[in-house]
Structure 1
Amino acid sequence: MFTGLIECTGTVLSLEARGESARLTLKVGPLAAELTEGESIAVNGCCLTVTEWDISQQTACFDLLMQTLKVTSLGDLIPGSLVNLERAMSMSARFGGHFVQGHVDATVTVLDWSPHGQDYRLEVALPAEYAGLVIPKGSICLDGISLTAAEVTSQSVVCWIIPHTFQVTNLHTKAAGMRLNVEFDLLGKYVRNLMQAQTGT
């Protein structure tokens, strides 16, 4: 379980195809010294397992399943790409974001990414099958970042990004047309499933 509050960013060193899977190697900086084998880390919002790490080289490796490559945007990564990193939440820490599982629902396309004064406007396309899972002032997780949906239509969601978030995440490397991983609010998905079970639709 995660919160959507990014701890740091990492840099892609390689994404190596291995049959129907892949090995992702990241430069994670000082975070490498705090890792343990089998630890869960959200990489651009996708929960991955640390399989190898090197404290001296400050690197970490993750094995990606074909399903992960199909559902997420991780297959788009190239050497030098910046990724958002968050370790699993601690029960002793403040819970400042929202419940994020690290289970990516889909990818969304950036429609608008533009500066407005000191802030930035981020608009992403909303897949029709997920309409209703985002509400105005509700939470949405984009590339692992817990954001507030400021404006919601049947086709898109707009989030406003403050300078701090712009600087400490990978958002400053994004542009219109790029894909982001999206995880919709867990509570909204449960409510939808319960309603569908009751109505049989």
Structure 2
Amino acid sequence: MFTGIIEALGQVKGIEQEGSNRTFEIESHLASELKIDQSVAHNGVCLTVIAVAGDRYKVTAIDETMKKTNLGEWKEGTQVNLERCMPANGRFDGHIVQGHVDLTAVCTGRKEEGGSWLFDFSYPEGTSHMTVEKGSITVNGVSLTCFNSKDNSFRVAIIPYTFEHTNFHQLKEGMQVNLEFDIIGKYLQKIALRQMGK
């Protein structure tokens, strides 16, 4: 389990295609603290460490992960938000994040406003996913509060620290991001639909 509080930025240094799977080599100062079989969230995608060497490590994404996330857009040099799983005795600073991306969204707006930044996102209509005003959302692994919540779009505000220490500073209109909707909201929605016979 994760909290959506990004620990570091990593950089993609190599990509290998192995059948329908894709292995990524990531460079990060966190590498020396990682071990094989450890779970690390990459732009909100939980991936297992399969090798560690110096300041680099490798993770593999299966075909299903590639189809549901923005990992297919990664290339050498891409910056990636990283978070290790939460320790049992750690602080819960964000919200419950599983590292299981629901779908991708597109950035439809970016605006600087008094030192902070506003980002707008839209995702496909007709999905069962939803946001609520002032509810939690995970964008590229970052725990955020959404507002201007509509049927298939929302806005988030990014403070300067988050802007500089995540890959939000590189995010532009038209780019894809990974979304994980609030797990509590997803359970409540499913219960409500069952009670309505849907």
TM-score normalised by the chain length of structure 2: 0.96
Amino acid at match of 2:11: T
Which residue of 1 is the match for residue 33 of structure 2? 34
1:12-37 per-residue CA deviation (whole Å, 9 max, x = no partner) reads 012221111111110012x1121111
Matches within 5 A, 1:27-66: 27-29=27-29, 31-54=30-53, 56=54, 58-66=55-63
- State how far apart, in whole Å, the 2-side matches of 1:173 and 1:105 are: 22
Which whole-Å CA distance do the structure 2 matches of 1:130 and 1:70 have between them?
16
Contact 2:138/2:180 (8 A) holds in 1: yes
Indicate conservation of the 8 Å contact 2:129/2:186, yes or no.
no
Judge conservation of contact 1:4–1:98 (CA < 8 Å) in 2. Answer: yes
Matched, 1:106 2:103: yes
Unaligned ranges ≥5, structure 1: none
Q: Alignment partner for residue 175 of structure 2, among 167, 174, 178?
A: 178
94 and 137 in structure 1: CA distance in 2 versus 1, 3 angstrom threshold: same
TM-superposed deviation, 1:131:
6.3
* 2:13 counterpart residue number: 13
| Superposed CA RMSD | 1.2
Q: Give 1:148's match in structure 2, choosing from 141, 145, 148.
A: 145
Q: Tell me, which stretches of 5 or more residues in structure 2 are unaligned?
A: none
**Is residue 2:154 matched to residue 1:157?**
yes
Alignment length (residue pairs):
198
Cα pair 1:131 1:154 within 8 Å, conserved: no
Contact 2:36 2:49 (C-alpha < 8 Å) held by counterparts: yes
TM-score by length of 1: 0.95
Amino-acid identity (%): 38
